[in-house]
Chain A
Amino acid sequence: MLTLECPYCGVMADETELTPGYEAHLKRFGPGSTDEEFEAYMFARKNPKGVHFERWRHAYGCGKWFLAARDTATLEVFGTYPAQSSAPPQALQDKIKAKRPDWKGYK
């Protein structure tokens, strides 16, 4: 039972209060994109054993979507931030880099 802090309402929310949304920071490809671009957008996933950026919704709380940086092997949560972010906050990236020197960045 994970617990994640909702960056909107500040609640430490149990996993059962949240709905998961898998990989974050995907760029949408719509009409006009190539089959390869569309496939990559829809299906190709980083699925790292390590630092992962992912979407969660505080569905049974404030209803807001947010993003989390979490280690999929240790389940450590490095931080959460609003879904309305095109990149993870720099401070969070710095924190992760300090804890996981081998980390190659969120892209």
Chain B
Amino acid sequence: MKRYSAFALAREALTNHLGWERAWANPAPKASYDVIIVGAGGHGLATAYYLGKNHGITNVAILEKGWLGGGNTGRNTTIIRSNYLQDSSAAIYEKSRSLYETLSQDLNYNAMFSPRGVMMLAQTHHEVRGYLRTAHANSLQGVTTEFISPQKVKELCPILNIDGPRYPVLGALWQARGGTGRHDAVAWGYARACSAMGMDIIQNCEVKGVTSANGVVTGVETTKGRIGTRKLGIVVAGHSGQVADMAGFRLPVEAVALQALVSEPIKPCMDVVVMANTVHGYMSQSDKGEMVIGGGTDGFNNFTQRGSFHHIEETLRALIETFPIISRLKMLRQWGGIVDMTGDRSPIISKTPLGNCFINCGWGTGGFKAIPGSGWAMADLMARGEPGPLAEAFDMWRFKEGRFIDESVAAGVAH
């Protein structure tokens, strides 16, 4: 793999950039692999990458129904933060955030992690108490956050109206080391690194069946034929239910659509990421200058990835109240992502009823920020066959025991 650098750019410019090699290979599937990962989104690719990097397992295929990074990895609002309340959540999201810090260097691919800071506004007394609770929890979890005053909020984000008539800002939970990344680049960087380790990324290859013998997985049937494997990792987000069905088990997961939109680009006016959960909306400004806006989820099972209107209407009302200057900007594009919501809205990283078959799903509306940590924990689980401390709490049997990991308790926090 040729290394990327400013020097390489200058060198290739001399030959009009005709010398760049493929970022990832385009192989035909082999007859079998040590590990097959279904789903070449961020989580699947990260799982493969850490299988190779941390565990030396490189005889790996990553199968993708469409194009790599084409699911929620490529259609989210790119927020990265780890200021979660529950210990197990904070552990994996903080692991993830810390991996993001050095991801560009690890992958030799600029994933553009930008720790510009994330603030979650408190606009009711109840929310203030909720975020204070999170701040106390974070202080023990090794997650650096602080509860800041309205004046500090205004300093960090001058376009914010802290004196609205209905929900004046009473403070905010601030994570200075949270921020944003470039979503596509995360998938592409992992894909390039996986390919460089000799792994096969096979796009346009849909899994149609899972084969097993004596309760242990043996392979998958795909649109490109049968492929054998010793271990199978299902990392397909919204389509987890469909693949789990092929593997013979049912999940506590429902797929719903999450709405998002971007405005036309304007010159920089907002450095930080702001989430306003009382009024339901969050916003940041991309490097291109677009205001990136996240809305709510529809309340019904949906696989269409389409934008709908009434959620963004509510979101924009909230955001115009919060950021009055955006009223005259225009919506450039809106879309929906299929998010997989579990019974407690926390993810599943787990063994399954089928031997050597593992599942990673349920990231819901918060998957992008978790990609490196999720891949790290999933790779560990798949390599050793048992969960490590990061994954342990996220097993799929917790619902039977009532052992929920409920993040909504702090203050109705959206991810």
Q: Which residues of A contact B (CB under 8 A)?
A: 1-2, 15-16, 19-20, 22-23, 35-36, 38-40, 42-49, 52, 54, 70, 72-75
Complex Cα–Cα for A39 and B342 (A): 13
Tell me, rounded to whole Å, the shortest Cβ–Cβ distance linking B340 to chain A. Answer: 8
Please state if A73 and B304 are interface contacts (CB–CB under 8 Å). yes
B7 within 8 Å of A (CB atoms): no
**Which residues of B209-265 have CB atoms within 8 Å of chain A's CB atoms?**
239, 241-242, 250-255
Asked if B303 lies at the interface with its beta carbon under 8 angstroms from chain A, I say: yes
Across the interface, which residues of A come within 8 angstroms of B299, CB to CB?
A: 19-20, 22
Among A35, A54, A73, the residue within 8 A (CB) of B303 is A73
Question: B72: shortest Cβ distance to chain A, in Å?
Answer: 16
Q: Is B301 an interface residue (CB 8 A)?
A: yes
Q: Chain B, interface size: which category?
A: 20 to 34
For B129, what are the chain A residues with a Cβ–Cβ distance below 8 Å?
Answer: none
Given contacts A16-B310, A35-B400, A46-B241, contact A52 B251 (CB under 8 A): no
User: With the chains together, A70 CA to B304 CA distance in Å?
Assistant: 13
Q: Mark B335-346, 1 if CB is under 8 A from A, else 0.
A: 000000011000
A72 near B302 with CB under 8 A, answer yes
Q: B-side binding surface: helix, strand, loop or mixed?
A: mixed
The residue of chain A having its C-beta at the shortest distance from the C-beta of B308 within the complex is: A1
User: Judging by beta carbons under 8 Å apart, are B300 and A45 in contact?
Assistant: no
Take A1-B308, A15-B310, A16-B310 as given contacts and tell me if A45 and B250 are in contact as well, using a CB distance cutoff of 8 Å.
Answer: yes
Residues in chain A near residue B309, CB distance under 8 A: 1
Are A47 and B399 in contact, with the CB atoms below 8 A?
Answer: no
Option from B241, B252, B300, B308 in Cβ contact (under 8 Å) with A48: B241
Contact residues in B for A36 (Cβ distance below 8 Å): 400
Shortest distance between the CB of B379 and any CB in chain A (Å): 26
Contacts of A43 in B (CB 8 A): 252, 342-343, 399
Given A1-B310, A2-B300, A72-B303, answer yes or no on A39-B400 (Cβ-Cβ < 8 Å).
Answer: yes
Residues of A contacting B304 in the complex (Cβ-Cβ under 8 angstroms): 72-75
Closest beta carbon of chain B to A93's beta carbon, Å: 19
Q: Is the CB of A49 within 8 A of B300?
A: no
Contact A45 B308 (CB under 8 A): no
- Chain B residues 260-303 with CB under 8 Å of chain A are 298-303
The reply to whether B300 and A20 form a contact with Cβ atoms under 8 Å apart is yes
Report chain A residues within 8 Å CB of B302. Answer: 72, 75
Q: Which residue of A lies closest to B299 (CB)?
A: A20
Top-10 shortest CB links A-B: A43-B252, A20-B299, A47-B241, A43-B343, A39-B400, A44-B250, A20-B300, A43-B399, A72-B301, A73-B303
Contact of B252 among A16, A44, A54 (CB under 8 A): A44
Query: What are 19 A-B contacts with C-beta separation under 8 Å?
Result: A1-B310, A15-B308, A22-B300, A23-B254, A35-B401, A36-B400, A39-B400, A43-B342, A44-B251, A46-B241, A47-B253, A47-B254, A47-B255, A49-B239, A49-B303, A54-B300, A54-B301, A70-B300, A73-B304
